[in-house]
Amino acid sequence: MIDVFWHPAVLDHDTGRGIFEGGPSDLLDVPELHPENAEWVRNMVSVLQRGPLADRLRWHDGRLAGEDELAAVHDPAYIAMLREACEQGGRVFAPSTLVTGESWRPLLAAAGTAMAAGDAVISGSSRIVYAPVRPPGHHAAPATADGYCFFNHVALVAERALAAGCERVAIIDWDVHHGNGTQACFYDRADVLTVSLHMRHGSWGPSHPQTGSPAEVGVGRGAGHNVNAELGLGGGIRAYEAAFTQVIRPILDQYRPDLIVGACGQDASGFDPNGRQNLLMAGFRRVGRMVAEAAGDLCDGKLVLVQEGGYARTYAAYCLHATLEGVLGTGPLLADPIGYLPDDAARGDGDIAALRTYLSPFWRLP
Ligand SMILES: [Zn+2]
């Protein structure tokens, strides 16, 4: 059983349309929505309400965050600046990271609902929870908006767990992008282990100074407690399994977290406009299973899942369903509607040796 925490106000943050995040173009009659739009989360909610997992989910109302609660992670001046930006009608923080005059309540609903979900596990009333919230949070640092994100939801959950008496919290982030904001929150601390599995994308500007490289391991007391599994483009599930079984799970076994928080993204799918990691539903099922097995073995199954990115408007919802099938260990319940080619990380750049063998009788190949 998974307890799902939901607040419909998260749908009211309107990011506009264009060539995905590239802004509008006079060249096109039909624009796309901004990748981070309300529709992908609507589909996630509907697939859970109407899909084969429906009878394994219990729904709960989310809530708005208080500004004092946000201050557990974020600078008060940053919180006030964001509120004022919304009150003044909106602001663009980076070309693709913006608020409008209507965004403040959605931002509070996303953070508050993630915290409500976390509190249910922290208090012992739930074992596994999931919060479908947006905008995502893992790029937000204590005083910096970045990558569509404003408040770092998984960091807020981790801080609440520590305040309630947990000694060690592990955050596992499988959004396809580096969880730089979460890394920044805890980089010099050992009470939160931050793990990010992401594609190799590097820094993307002043708001995102970290590269996400494996060399970023933490500093001071936090040394060794930041794990960046930077996976090659197109790696598919084999890359995730290798990183998880060879590095992440052994570290978790030694760290012995009291709680695991999953930054649950689906933008690693093979059909995501923002991802190149090529996971299919079977891959997300496997990721969900590996994370839930770790929680089961290490922290009495306590697992808080908070939605991060997932921008394929329809497929991300199916991938979320598959992730939760994996978490619950049900096996496949929902067929993959489009992922007809299985993950294939073994071939890498393709079988060039065979190609040369077949064609070298006819052509001189260097
Ligand atoms: Zn992402």
The pLDDT of residue 344 is above 70: no
Is there a contact between 122 and 81 (Cβ–Cβ < 8 Å)? no
C-alpha 150/C-alpha 93 separation (Å) is 10
The pLDDT of residue 221 is above 70: yes
CA of 308 from ligand 1 middle (Å) equals: 7
Is there a contact between 183 and 210 (Cβ–Cβ < 8 Å)? yes
pLDDT reported for residue 139: 98
Please write the tens of the pLDDT for every residue from 246-267: 999 999 999 999 999 999 999 9
Please write the tens of the pLDDT for every residue from 50-62: 999 999 999 999 9
For the whole model, what pTM was predicted? 0.95
Report yes or no on 365 lying in a domain: no
Three-state secondary structure of the chain: CEEEEECHHHHHCCCCEECHHHCCCCCCCCCEECCCCHHHHHHHHHHHHHCCCHHHEEEEECCCCCHHHHCCCCCHHHHHHHHHHHHCCEEEEECCEEEECCCHHHHHHHHHHHHHHHHHHHCCCCCEEEECCCCCCCCCECCECECCECCCHHHHHHHHHHHCCCCCEEEEECCCCCCHHHHHHHCCCCCEEEEEEEECCCCCCCCCCCCCCCCCCCCHHHCCCEEEEEECCCCHHHHHHHHHHHHHHHHHHHHCCCEEEEEECCCCECCCCCCCCCECHHHHHHHHHHHHHHHHHHCCCCEEEEECCCCCCCHHHHHHHHHHHHHHCCCCCCCCCCCCCCCCCCCCCCCHHHHHHHHCCCCCCC
CA of 21 from ligand 1 middle (Å) equals: 13
Section 20-28 average pLDDT: 85
The pLDDT of residue 349 is above 70: no
Query: C-alpha angle 122/123/129, rounded to 5°?
Result: 55
Show Cβ contacts of residue 84 under 8 Å, excluding neighbours closer than 6 positions.
none
pLDDT reported for residue 353: 85
Report yes or no on 336 lying in a domain: yes
pLDDT reported for residue 348: 60
Could you tell me which of 108, 94, 86 has the C-alpha nearest to residue 34?
Answer: 94
CA of 356 from ligand 1 middle (Å) equals: 38
Q: Tell me the backbone φ, ψ of residue 146, rounded to 5 degrees.
A: -165, 145
Is there a contact between 43 and 316 (Cβ–Cβ < 8 Å)? yes
Section 230-244 average pLDDT: 92
Bigger pLDDT: 350 vs 91:
91
Please write the tens of the pLDDT for every residue from 280-300: 999 999 999 999 999 999 999
Percentage of residues in the chain having pLDDT higher than 70: 98
pLDDT reported for residue 355: 84
pLDDT reported for residue 346: 63
Q: Which residue has the tokens 């998260």?
A: 10
Report yes or no on 232 lying in a domain: yes
**pLDDT grade, residue 339 (50/70/90)?**
confident
Please give the residue range of the domain that contains residue 287.
Answer: 2-359
CA of 207 from ligand 1 middle (Å) equals: 15
Candidate list 34, 139, 178, 225, residue with the active-site label: 139
Report yes or no on 267 lying in a domain: yes
Section 346-361 average pLDDT: 81
**pLDDT grade, residue 184 (50/70/90)?**
very high
pLDDT reported for residue 197: 97
The pLDDT of residue 350 is above 80: no
Is there a contact between 198 and 175 (Cβ–Cβ < 8 Å)? yes
CA of 18 from ligand 1 middle (Å) equals: 19
The pLDDT of residue 343 is above 80: no
The pLDDT of residue 276 is above 80: yes
Number of domains in the chain: 1
Q: State the CATH number of the domain containing residue 124.
A: 3.40.800.20
The pLDDT of residue 345 is above 70: no
Token pair, residue 23, equals 């802004």
CA of 321 from ligand 1 middle (Å) equals: 18
CA of 309 from ligand 1 middle (Å) equals: 4
Known catalytic membership, residue 139: yes
pLDDT reported for residue 332: 97
Name the average pLDDT for the chain. 95
pLDDT reported for residue 342: 74
CA of 39 from ligand 1 middle (Å) equals: 16
Section 160-182 average pLDDT: 98
Section 59-76 average pLDDT: 98
| Strand 97-100 with 90-94, pairing | antiparallel
Report yes or no on 342 lying in a domain: yes
CA of 274 from ligand 1 middle (Å) equals: 7
Section 122-136 average pLDDT: 98
**pLDDT grade, residue 83 (50/70/90)?**
very high
